[in-house]
Structure 1
Amino acid sequence: MRHIFRGIFFDMGGTLVFPDPERISAAFSRHLKRDFPPSRCLEAVHAATIELDRRLTVPSEKPEDWWGDYFGVVADHCDPERLSSSAERLHAFEELRADHRKRNLWSWFVPGVRELLDWLESTGVVAGIISNSDGRVKAQLRAEGLLDRFRVVLDSHEVGIEKPDARIFRMALDAVRLEARDSLYIGDFTNIDGRGASRAGLSALIIDPLGKRSEWGYPTVRSLESVRNWLEAAGS
């Protein structure tokens, strides 16, 4: 089929990989002293993305401690009755932070990554990564055998520019010699990924697993596995 996009760039965390729900479950269960199934933790991760995305639209609520705010929402979703103490939650958050320093917590590759990349490659679409990260994106992709599937991989820690700054998107476009009007960016935050892509002239698509942000200004899909259908519909 003929694509309306010649290049598709992906966010990493929250798009291709999520925080490992098994590791979150283990830390929460240990410190909050109750069982938290991984499936519940994964749903809580999605809820945290929505809440922090919402806060980014309100200057007075803009997150200052991303780690604490993010996992605070995860804990609220897992433990809505707040049966655990603040100290117990803090111990869980700090264990996850220490674990993340040693081994990236955002390590659970979502279903359908390889299949989507195979399909894009078969149709001649250039794939790339633009990620706000800590310098570990390339190593993570290499470990999964995926690094060579992307023509360009930009990690904000390495290039010194973070989304939503339009310059990081333009760097990716320049690297693969594509025009913004021919390119799509797929991410999980409307106020970081959608806004940054739009500023640079790219189209944007938001991964929204809970289906809560369909009216936030950007097209959405529920999962990475739905991207192919969305692209086929967009190109028809």
Structure 2
Amino acid sequence: MIRRRPTHLLFDFFGTLVDYSPSRTEQGYRRSHALLRDFGGQLGYERFLDVWSATSARFDRASALDDREFSMADVTTEFLGAVLPRPATPEQVDAFVAAYLAEWSAAVRHPAGIDVLLKGLGSEFRLAVVSNTHSPTMVPEQLAAMGVLDVMDAVVLSVEVGRRKPHADIYRAALDRLGVPARDVWFIGDSYEADYTGPRRLGMEALLIDPQGTADVPPHDRLDSVFDLPHRLNAVRPGPTA
């Protein structure tokens, strides 16, 4: 049972603080496809989605081997190189990335009351977000739109660290940024490897959002949602570990 009350709370972002779809194709990318056509690409819409998905999947498979993170610019450069009659310019890469991220982000939803929850927690604990993402701007922009960017003492992103969760480097980067030992931290997220076993290997306590009870974690480490966190914190009194 978790007995040590934390001084810092580290949150996963996607699936924990916001609802989203991980799909790279189902959101609808008509603007991105139109931009590709403006650049001289001749792919029809369905073929555009297929090639984009296949290119992204190759990067995902490579990352799965060593947790190295790639950027949207990386995958976009390879994609445009395969479908345009000439190499893409940096300006074209930037424009495509911006268009694609805008369309992908349109499916991100902020749960009602998430801002109130985080501001309340921020009055008692230091907070940070530790997120796997291919963009250095998306998560900070989402936090700003939620009205909670200024509540966060740090926003640590895999694309900036160079490694994604569950690699130890990204957790160490967060601890170093905050200047806090692992024993004073709780990590909260919805992915078993990235948000539960990874932080625990470094000595953090971790709570897994797992409403269906599908993961092999003790009941006291499971949350139905992030909104259960205050109750769990209130059940732990300040003081040293017993």
- SS of the aligned residue for 1:151 comes to strand
- CA separation of 1:155 and 1:106: change in aligned 2, threshold 3 A: farther
Structure 2 residue aligned with 1:145: 147
1:177 Cα shift? Answer: 1.2
What CA distance in whole angstroms lies between the structure 2 residues aligned with 1:65 and 1:209?
31
Structure 1 residue aligned with 2:119: 118
Structure 2 stretches lacking a partner, 5+ long:
29-59, 64-98
- CA separation of 1:19 and 1:147: change in aligned 2, threshold 3 A: same
Structure 1 residue aligned with 2:214: 212
- CA separation of 1:164 and 1:25: change in aligned 2, threshold 3 A: closer
- SS of the aligned residue for 2:108 comes to strand
- SS of the aligned residue for 1:168 comes to helix
Structure 2 residue aligned with 1:230: 232
Contact map agreement 1:16 1:224 (CA 8 A) in 2: yes
Structure 2 residue aligned with 1:180: 182
Contact map agreement 2:133 2:158 (CA 8 A) in 1: yes
Percent identity between matched residues is 33
Alignment of 1:40-189 (within 5 A): 64=61, 102-104=103-105, 107-123=108-124, 125-135=125-135, 136-189=138-191
What CA distance in whole angstroms lies between the structure 2 residues aligned with 1:223 and 1:191?
17
1:106 Cα shift? Answer: 5.6
Contact map agreement 1:111 1:224 (CA 8 A) in 2: no
1:228 Cα shift? Answer: 0.6
How does the TM-score come out when normalised to structure 1? 0.61
How does the TM-score come out when normalised to structure 2? 0.59
When Rg is computed on C-alpha atoms for both structures, the one with the higher figure is 2
Structure 2 residue aligned with 1:6: 7
What CA distance in whole angstroms lies between the structure 1 residues aligned with 2:204 and 2:186?
6
Cα deviation, 1:52-80, whole Å, max 9, x if unaligned, reads xxxxxxxxxxx9599xxxxxxxxxxxxxx
Contact map agreement 2:127 2:151 (CA 8 A) in 1: yes
Which AA in structure 2 matches 1:202?
M
- CA separation of 1:105 and 1:197: change in aligned 2, threshold 3 A: farther
Structure 2 residue aligned with 1:58: none
Cα deviation, 1:86-143, whole Å, max 9, x if unaligned, reads xxxxxxxxxxxx97663325611223322222222222x1000000012121122122
Which AA in structure 2 matches 1:170?
R
- CA separation of 1:105 and 1:20: change in aligned 2, threshold 3 A: farther
- CA separation of 1:207 and 1:105: change in aligned 2, threshold 3 A: farther
1:159 Cα shift? Answer: 1.9
1:235 Cα shift? Answer: 3.0
1:16 Cα shift? Answer: 0.3
Which AA in structure 2 matches 1:109?
H
Considering only aligned residues, what root-mean-square deviation do their CA atoms show, in Å? 3.0
1:208 Cα shift? Answer: 1.4
Structure 1 residue aligned with 2:18: 17
